[in-house]
Every structure is written in C-alpha cells, then in structure tokens.
Chain A
Amino acid sequence: MSHETPPTPGLVSSLVRGYMPFVVAVGVAIVMQVVVRPNVDPYPAKLLLDIGINCILAVSLTMVNGFTGQFSMGHAGFMAVGGYASGAITYYTSMRVWGAGEARGGVLSGMLGGEGLPWLTVGDGLFLFSLIVGGVVAAGLGYLVGLPSLRLKGDYLAIVTLGFGEIVRVVIQQTSPVLTSAEEVRQATILQLPTHVGGSLGFSGIPYYTGLFWVYLGVCVTLIVAFRLKTSTFGRAFLSIRNDEIAAEAMGVNTTRYKVWAFVIAAFFAGIAGGLFSHTLGVGLSPEAAGFLRSFDVIIMVVLGGLGSISGAVAAAIIVTLLPEWLRGVAEYRMIIYALALILIMIFRPKGLFGVREVWDRATWAWLSRRKSGTGARGGARE
C-alpha cells in the first residue's frame, strides 16, 4: 500500500526527534506521583487520575475526529480491548508466576502507600509491558476498522465504528468467568486464558498498578505525540484530509494511508488508556465500557474542546470529569446540560470552543474582542 506513495518523512522519525520532552514527561509524572499524590486527599487525587485517563482518550480521539476529520464513534471499543488485553496479561502472568493477582509495584505505582518500596520493580515492568501490548492490540483492531475508511465517508464510517464498539461489547459478554485460583490458572493453556475475562460481570481482580505516575506519563507522551503529529508533515497531511479530501488527493496525499494511520495511532493510545483504566482501584472494566455511551462521552470532550485543538481536548476532559462531581445535586439534569451545550456550541462555535487552535494562540480569543465588529459575524463555518 505504501510503496506507491511519494516519499514522506517516516512516522517514527517525525515523532521521536529530540528526546528532551520525554525526559520532561518522566519528570512531570514523577512529581505527580511523589509530590502531589501524598499531599492531596485521596478523593481529589482520584479525580486527577480520572482526568488523566480522560485526557488520553480525548487527545487520541482528536487525532481521528479532529485532525483528520473522520468520525469515529467506537473509541470506547478500542479502550475496552486495550484494557482487557493488558488486564489479562498482568493478572494471569501474576497468577502464574507469583500465584496471586495482587500488584507488586514500587513507589511509582498505585494510589496508596508506597513507603519503603523500591522505585521500580518487576511488577512495574510487567505493567508497562502489558500497557504496550494492550495499545498494540487496540492498534491492530484500529487498522482493521480503519480499512473500511478506504470506502466510507463521514457518517457511514461513524455507523461502522459504532457497530464495531457494539460487536466488541457483545463478544466480551460471551467470555467465561475470571479464574481466581492459582491452580486453575496453571492448568489452563495460554490460549484459554484470554477467554476467562469475566463476561458480563466485568473483569475484577486486576492488580492495581495505576497511579498518578503512570497516568501522567501516558498523558505527557500522548500530548508530545499529538503536538508533533500536528506540526509534522505527517500531521499536515491529516489536516489536509480534514479540510478537503479531494483536493488533498489531487495534491498527491495518499488519503487512504493517512486515514488508516490516524485510526491506528488513536486506537493505540485508546488502548493505553484502557490499560491504565483497568488497573485502577475501584474502576470496573465491564463490557459496558465498550458501549456507545462511553464513546459519546469522549466525543463530547473532543467537540467541546474543538475539533483539532489538543489543549482544547485537555481542557474539555478536565471539565467533563469534574462537572458531574460538582453537579452531584442535580445529576438528572447533567446530561441535558451536556446535550444543550453540544447543540449550542455547534451552532455558535462550529469548530468547538477552541477550533483547531490551541488555548494559548492569541487568535483563539480574538472572537471575544471582535464580537461586535463585522468580521466576527462570519462564523467561519464555510469550508
């Protein structure tokens, strides 16, 4: 598929140029775990964790729905697949090797305690490995789902991805109960284990490795990749598809290839988010996690933030996570408020709150001061 395309800079080289940001990312993540976590109460710490996971989901979906202008409604499907894959790896490996499913992480893992532990342990290595495998499995599925985008446009693709999420949900429902004794796990073959992920009851018992370190490491890496994508030749190709697919093709952009890539990258990070999600204390990984309601949540974040704005997606992820906590008293009206917000934003800010721009771009805020003058009324909806 790729040998016909004119040479473009490779994906990997455009993402891994310069390692400094990654060093900073590790630093930020360590600060979150070692300094922030012990100094805030567990409840706000848990909210920070939820925010982080939602950020990864929203930013990764932005790559498909924002940058490339495709419309995926099956993001939760990728997340669930990644979560189940990585959960199965850590749980069953722990059961086989150590005979128990508990987490064996160091200081950087988990949300509780951590005094007197080594910084990193074998358990952490296992967790990291499982996260990456979860991401890769989700990315593989992303490739399969991305393929139909060769043929499908806009809303058809939306329906196919939505159907994909539903198929994932039904398939997970058919799985068998989790094996809870080390005996049973040792007797089962490797191929049998992935079918024992709990069915409709959900996969519980996954070791609790997820802490602020891993989540914010994930957030930072996702952000770095997203920004580099957006500003690289590769990302420009994404944006050109979004702006005018036919013109992009005429200019020699292999639209199919880029669309599939967008799906694969977004699915990878959704898989990582799923892995982080499934290893969190008190978070249920159930087939419902793959359903369209969860996908709608992520779409709301992306649309609120602006289709294509990375910082906007982050801001929206923060708002959407905290809003239900603030609106606890009026929970029944929460979804009505979201729905109205979606409609109003689409009418009055058709490109989302921040559009394709970032929060710190001055032009983002120009509409505030320009509102009364003639230029502001254009709306910018015409493409």
Chain B
Amino acid sequence: MRTLRSRLVRAGLALAGVAALASPACGRQPTETIKIGHYASLTGSEATFGKSTDNGIRLAVDEVNAKGGVTIAGKTYKIELVSDDTEGKPEKAGTVVTKLITKDKVKAVLGEVASSVSLQGAPVCQAYGVPMITPSSTNYTVTQKGNMIFRVCFIDPFQGFACAKFAKDELKLTKAAILFDQAAAYSVGLKDEFIKHFKSMGGTIVSEQAYTKGASDFNAQLTRIRETNPEVIFIPGYYSDVAKISIQARKLGMTMPLLGGDGWDSEELAKNAGEAIDGCFYSNHYAPDQPTEAIQTFVSKYQQRFGGIPDGLAALGYDAANVLFDAMARAKSHSGKDLRDAIAATKNFKAVTGTITINDQRDAVKPAVIVERKGGKWAFRAAIEPQR
C-alpha cells in the first residue's frame, strides 16, 4: 500500500515537471568507495576562493587514494570527491548541501569559504547528522551551529587579536585607523575584534571608515583618515579592494603601513597594487616561504599539480581533507556519529598550516602568521601564538 501511494505521488510529481529530480537517487556505488562532499563558490565573483580550496582538497584526495585509500574499522575505501557550486550565495547553501547529503550520499562535508554561506550549510549538516569541516570560515558563530560542525582555521576573534598584538607589540604603534567593508560580514567581524583587542592593549582607534565591496573611490574616507594622523591603517577587506585602497592612499601621501587579514591572501593583490603595498602586513594561515618541511613538500606538490604558489585557502582545503582522513582512520565506523567523535578527538595533527588540535568549541587552535611585503615578495615576519 505504501509503495503504491508513493508511486502515485511520484507519478504526480513527474507530471508537475520535477520528474528528473524526484526519482530516488540510489545509484549504488561499489562498496569500496566513500564519497565526501565539498560545497564552494566555483562560479561567480568569489570563484577564485572556491577553486583554490577545491584544488587543495583534490590534492589531498588524490594522495590518499594513491596510498590505497582510507581504512575504516579494518576495511579500506577509496575516496570520491563530489564538489558542488554555491555561486557564493548563502541562499543556495541549503539546496546544495541537501543534494550532497541526500542525493550523493556523502559521509562528510567540507566547505564553505565564506562564513555567511557556511552559516547556512551548517544547520543542514547538523540536521542530517553528517559532520562538516569548514576549511576557512573564520566567523566564530559557524561552529556554534551544532556539534557536527568543525573548522581547521583560526577564528576572527583570534585573528583580530593577532593583528592587534602585532601592531602594538611588534611594530610598537598605538594610533590606528580602520577602513572596513561594510557589506562583508568577515570584514565587520574582524574590525570589531581588532578594535576590542587593540584598545585593551592600550592603543587608540582614531578613525573608523566604511566602504562597500566593489567600490573604486576611497578619496573621502582616506582623506578623513589622513586628518587624524594614524600610524597604521587596519583594512580587514578582500584583496580586490585593498589594491585600490593602497594605491589611492599612497597618492594622498599617506606612507604609514597598512595591515590586513587573510582576505588579502591572493597573488593578484601585489600584481595590481604594485609598490603601493610595500611595507604592508597581513595575518594569514601559513606563509609559503616558511622553511618547515610540511609546508615545502605541500608547496612543491601543489606547484607540480596545478602550477602557481598555493594560497592560504588551498592549504586549508588540503588540511581540512587530511584532518577528515585522519579521523576516518581512527573512527569506529563511517556513520556520522562515529566520524564526528573521531574528528572531535583530533589532537596534535601535523598539518601544513600548523599543528591542529580541535578544542571543545570544535575550532582549531593554532598560531597565525604575519606576512610582510618586502623587496617585491611576501615574506614570513612573525607567528602569533593563540591565547591559552
């Protein structure tokens, strides 16, 4: 009876024009394959972020498969990666993650880069009991969405702290101005954290100006900042806007260093800003020129496979996938709950972007690095340890 009813319903839906999608997705995979999902902005204006992360994940997946796969509870599985596009839009996250979990039947989900998108994907993973690891969403509320949600990057409160500490202790500066992107949650969050920490360390914020993503003219904001004579300008924006800001600031005769967050991390920044960005700093997840073995092997492998120096997002994608595989090897089974417990138990995992320990808030605790533009190159300047 039930089958008849459901058949009738399906027939009705087919008439409604949903036929192709309503049919149950039960393409049986050979038992030795496990699917993992990645939702990312593969098209649209944030496409470069999603593609970098996807490359990093792909590299990790290929490596683990080349080693024979992952062994879960005595049985070895190959890993298959299913990547799907969110166009960088929060409202698409629900549909894409639902598809990954219920149609593709992935056992774990990786993604997204943007916190605003992850915030919408996370409740879906939580509702279906599938663990999710975000490689690079730094907004602290993301992992509060439930006990299935993890991340392998640091969080904005820490990044704000790292930038403030670097400006105050390392550069010995006390007067900062801020220019932030009011349309990006990332930028607003980082700005608030920086202000909080910088003030508590005894610094003063002399001016706080806003712009909107995609703007080209910063004359009014920069002129106003210039009036207040700051020693450093904190710009927690994305690289595409930072290039324009730095050029205009130099034209206005402002020579103080600019300081930013991981949104600056792109080869395009220096390409477009030229010498305007000299002597500037940003906090990042890793620096490709750090002489540790983990980083140098990763960089050379990535260059071989994709060409170009991997950015922080690629490294984090690679780490997120490897944390997952490490957890899978320790898990009792590939059920969502067992995988979750294994990920939560991750301790001192040697990753490219530092040693990862997952804490009680399901966040990774690890240092941030500060990168400096010097002599036409980005160079490692300092590592800021997390507050314990």
Touch between chains A and B, by CB atoms below 8 Å = yes
Q: Which of A329-345 contact B (CB under 8 A)?
A: 331-332
Out of B9, B95, B115, B189, which one reaches A282, CB within 8 Å? Answer: B95
Q: Which of B116-149 contact A (CB under 8 A)?
A: 116-117, 119-121, 123-124, 127-128, 139, 141, 144-145
Return the CB mask of A44-87 against B: 1 if under 8 Å, else 0. Answer: 10111010000000000000000000000000000000000000
Closest to B100 in A: A43
Cβ of A42 within 8 Å of any chain B Cβ, yes or no, is: yes
CB distance from B56 to the nearest CB of A (A): 21
Closest to B44 in A: A331
Cβ of A115 within 8 Å of any chain B Cβ, yes or no, is: no
CB distance from A210 to the nearest CB of B (A): 11
Cβ of B48 within 8 Å of any chain A Cβ, yes or no, is: no
Pairwise interchain contact A201-B115, C-beta atoms closer than 8 A: yes
Chain B positions within 8 Å of A208 at CB level: 123
Closest to B16 in A: A318
Q: A46-B98, A289-B91, A328-B85 are in contact. Are A39 and B18 (CB under 8 A)?
A: no
CB distance from A301 to the nearest CB of B (A): 15
Q: A180-B144, A199-B185, A322-B18 are in contact. Are A282 and B97 (CB under 8 A)?
A: yes
Q: Which of B90, B97, B182 has the most A CB atoms < 10 Å from its CB?
A: B90
Q: A286-B116, A288-B89, A325-B21 are in contact. Are A50 and B13 (CB under 8 A)?
A: no
Pairwise interchain contact B9-A284, C-beta atoms closer than 8 A: no
Chain A positions within 8 Å of B202 at CB level: none
Pairwise interchain contact A284-B117, C-beta atoms closer than 8 A: yes
Pairwise interchain contact B18-A48, C-beta atoms closer than 8 A: yes
Cβ of B43 within 8 Å of any chain A Cβ, yes or no, is: yes
Closest to B9 in A: A39
A322 to B16, CA, bound (A): 12
Q: A46-B98, A282-B97, A283-B94 are in contact. Are A200 and B43 (CB under 8 A)?
A: no
A40 to B117, CA, bound (A): 26
Q: Which of A139-191 contact B (CB under 8 A)?
A: 170, 173-174, 180
Out of A47, A174, A201, A289, which one reaches B185, CB within 8 Å? Answer: A201
Pairwise interchain contact A39-B98, C-beta atoms closer than 8 A: no
Cβ of B6 within 8 Å of any chain A Cβ, yes or no, is: yes
Pairwise interchain contact B95-A39, C-beta atoms closer than 8 A: no
Pairwise interchain contact A36-B123, C-beta atoms closer than 8 A: no
Cβ of B271 within 8 Å of any chain A Cβ, yes or no, is: no
CB distance from B42 to the nearest CB of A (A): 7
Chain B positions within 8 Å of A287 at CB level: 183
Return the CB mask of A315-358 against B: 1 if under 8 Å, else 0. Answer: 00010001001101001100000000000000000000000000
Closest to A325 in B: B21
Closest to A284 in B: B90
A208 to B145, CA, bound (A): 13
Cβ of A122 within 8 Å of any chain B Cβ, yes or no, is: no
Chain A positions within 8 Å of B253 at CB level: none
Chain B positions within 8 Å of A286 at CB level: 90-91, 116, 185
Pairwise interchain contact B42-A47, C-beta atoms closer than 8 A: no
Q: A43-B99, A282-B95, A331-B85 are in contact. Are A200 and B188 (CB under 8 A)?
A: yes
Pairwise interchain contact A284-B10, C-beta atoms closer than 8 A: no
Cβ of A281 within 8 Å of any chain B Cβ, yes or no, is: yes
Pairwise interchain contact A201-B119, C-beta atoms closer than 8 A: yes
Chain A positions within 8 Å of B127 at CB level: 112, 281
Chain B positions within 8 Å of A4 at CB level: none
Pairwise interchain contact A282-B120, C-beta atoms closer than 8 A: yes
Closest to A174 in B: B182
CB distance from B300 to the nearest CB of A (A): 31
CB distance from B102 to the nearest CB of A (A): 4
Cβ of A202 within 8 Å of any chain B Cβ, yes or no, is: yes
Cβ of A280 within 8 Å of any chain B Cβ, yes or no, is: yes
Number of interface residues of B (CB under 8 A): 53
Return the CB mask of A12-49 against B: 1 if under 8 Å, else 0. Answer: 00000000000000000000000110011111101110
Chain A positions within 8 Å of B9 at CB level: 35-36, 39-40
Closest to B188 in A: A200
Q: A42-B98, A200-B188 are in contact. Are A282 and B121 (CB under 8 A)?
A: yes
Out of B6, B94, B119, B139, which one reaches A281, CB within 8 Å? Answer: B94
CB distance from A225 to the nearest CB of B (A): 22
Cβ of B25 within 8 Å of any chain A Cβ, yes or no, is: yes
Pairwise interchain contact A50-B95, C-beta atoms closer than 8 A: yes
Pairwise interchain contact A44-B13, C-beta atoms closer than 8 A: yes
Out of A39, A42, A202, A280, which one reaches B116, CB within 8 Å? Answer: A202
Pairwise interchain contact A40-B13, C-beta atoms closer than 8 A: yes
Chain B positions within 8 Å of A41 at CB level: 22, 24-25, 102-103
Cβ of A204 within 8 Å of any chain B Cβ, yes or no, is: yes
Pairwise interchain contact B22-A44, C-beta atoms closer than 8 A: yes
Chain B positions within 8 Å of A283 at CB level: 90-91, 93-94, 120
Cβ of B66 within 8 Å of any chain A Cβ, yes or no, is: no
Cβ of B1 within 8 Å of any chain A Cβ, yes or no, is: no
Q: Which of B303-349 contact A (CB under 8 A)?
A: none
Cβ of B388 within 8 Å of any chain A Cβ, yes or no, is: no
Return the CB mask of B180-214 against A: 1 if under 8 Å, else 0. Answer: 00111101110000000000000000000000100
CB distance from B94 to the nearest CB of A (A): 2
Q: A35-B5, A204-B141 are in contact. Are A282 and B124 (CB under 8 A)?
A: yes
A347 to B118, CA, bound (A): 41
Q: Which of A112, A277, A281, A287 has the most B CB atoms < 10 Å from its CB?
A: A281
Chain A positions within 8 Å of B375 at CB level: none
Cβ of B84 within 8 Å of any chain A Cβ, yes or no, is: yes
Q: Which of A174, A204, A282 has the most B CB atoms < 10 Å from its CB?
A: A282
Cβ of B87 within 8 Å of any chain A Cβ, yes or no, is: yes
Cβ of B220 within 8 Å of any chain A Cβ, yes or no, is: no
CB distance from A315 to the nearest CB of B (A): 8
Out of B25, B119, B124, B145, which one reaches A202, CB within 8 Å? Answer: B119
Q: Which of A112, A180, A284 has the most B CB atoms < 10 Å from its CB?
A: A284
Q: Would you list the 7 A-B pairs with minimal beta carbon distance, nearest first? A: A282-B94, A284-B90, A201-B185, A284-B120, A282-B124, A39-B6, A42-B102
Provide a sorted-by-A list of 17 A–B residue pairs whose CB atoms are within 8 angstroms: A36-B13, A40-B10, A43-B95, A43-B102, A46-B94, A48-B18, A170-B212, A201-B185, A201-B189, A204-B119, A204-B123, A283-B91, A283-B94, A284-B116, A284-B119, A284-B120, A328-B85
- Taking Cβ atoms with an 8 Å cutoff, the residues of A that contact B are 35-36, 39-44, 46-48, 50, 112, 170, 173-174, 180, 199-202, 204, 208, 277, 280-289, 318, 322, 325-326, 328, 331-332
- Taking Cβ atoms with an 8 Å cutoff, the residues of B that contact A are 5-6, 9-10, 12-13, 16-18, 20-22, 24-25, 42-43, 84-85, 87, 89-91, 93-95, 97-99, 101-103, 115-117, 119-121, 123-124, 127-128, 139, 141, 144-145, 182-185, 187-189, 212
Q: A39-B5, A284-B91 are in contact. List 7 more A-B contacts (CB 8 A).
A: A40-B13, A41-B22, A44-B22, A47-B21, A48-B13, A286-B116, A286-B185
